[in-house]
Amino acid sequence: MACRSCSAGLGRLPKRIAVPFRQNYPNSNSLASPLLCAATTTTTIIMTSSFPSALRYGARSSNIPSRASRRALHTTPPRQKVDLKQMLMGRVAQSLATGKSSYYIFNATEKLYKACAAQADYAIDPAARKAGKLQTTADGEEIGVSKGGRWHDDLALLPTFSTWAHVTMLHMYLLVVRFRCLEPAAQQAWQAQLVDHFFVQAEVKMEDVHDLTSRMIRQRYLKDLFVQWRGLILAYDEGIIKGDAVLASAVWRNLFKAREDVDVRALAAVVAWMRAGLMELGDMPDEVMELQAASAFPALRDMFKVVDLPTTSLKAPFEQAGIQP
């Protein structure tokens, strides 16, 4: 039986030293049994045969083992030298591997984003704002000047920040749907980089174009815009699955702000444009997707011809109602 001083000493051992003892002796009472104390002038450590050989001391040793002999209990591995040059070369080789690196995806998604953002881009004259001649909507949104985007003319949309954001997100949505055909890791990387480009440029446009110098206000608007982006994805996904009527309702709520005076012909043209764009992107191989995806968006004006063409299924109801197409 061990004395109290020896038992207490084992309890104060650090965990990294006490772990080997606990592994060899599952019972707590067996921790003190191998160590016996003798009431003599010299302390003798008697080790039982159940201890590892590295911890067993010979009977001829009448003194406490030296500090050097107890280093075997230390479980910390020795520090290894790190070759900084080799580590950096490995990182560079990893980024240039066959799989697309983060730098490649960043550059490719930036080009795709610019193609999406140019569809309804606009500008605001600082002199007009300074002179107080800047026009605004009924909600107080500033109206700028279109930079030649066809969506302003074809759909009669005002060149505002809201129009630019929703048209850009509509194009981004088609790309996000195409990214889902990639591997899960690649899909997340491409979508994350594309969305990051959009929100970074959205904040830049708030500050440079609309003169919002308060970062707190910009962050609040960006949070609202992010909620709209997530809701837009769910709404358009539901429309793609359930049919054109549900998809048109989602476009009407987001792009046209649920206006009662919306042109139904323009609404149908946007739905046809989304279907045609998804078909073009779906037929595109993965290896050329980042190079040709920007040119896969069909012309919106061509979709009006599709809308104006009567379908065979509606011919009989029109004749019964006496309507000539």
Residue 325 has a pLDDT of 62
Residue 324 has a pLDDT of 74
Residue 90 has a pLDDT of 61
Residue 291 has a pLDDT of 78
Residue 102 has a pLDDT of 85
Is the Cβ–Cβ distance between 199 and 222 less than 8 Å?
A: yes
Residue 208 has a pLDDT of 93
| Secondary structure string (H, E, C) spanning 255-323 | CCCCCCCCCHHHHHHHHHHHHHHHHHHHCCCHHHHHHHHHHHCCCHHHHHHHHHCCCHHHHHHHHHHCC
pTM beyond 0.95: no
Is the Cβ–Cβ distance between 293 and 109 less than 8 Å?
A: no
Burial class from Cβ neighbours inside 10 Å (0-12, 13-18, 19+) for residue 52 reads exposed
Residue 79 has a pLDDT of 62
Give Cα separations from 115 to 181, 232, 252, 284, 290 (angstroms).
21, 20, 23, 17, 12
pLDDT-flagged residues of the chain (< 50): 1-2, 4-66, 68-69, 71, 73, 92, 95-98
Helix (H, G, I), strand (E, B) or coil at 142: strand
Residue 95 has a pLDDT of 44
Task: Measure the N-to-C terminal CA separation of the chain; round to a whole number of Å.
Answer: 106
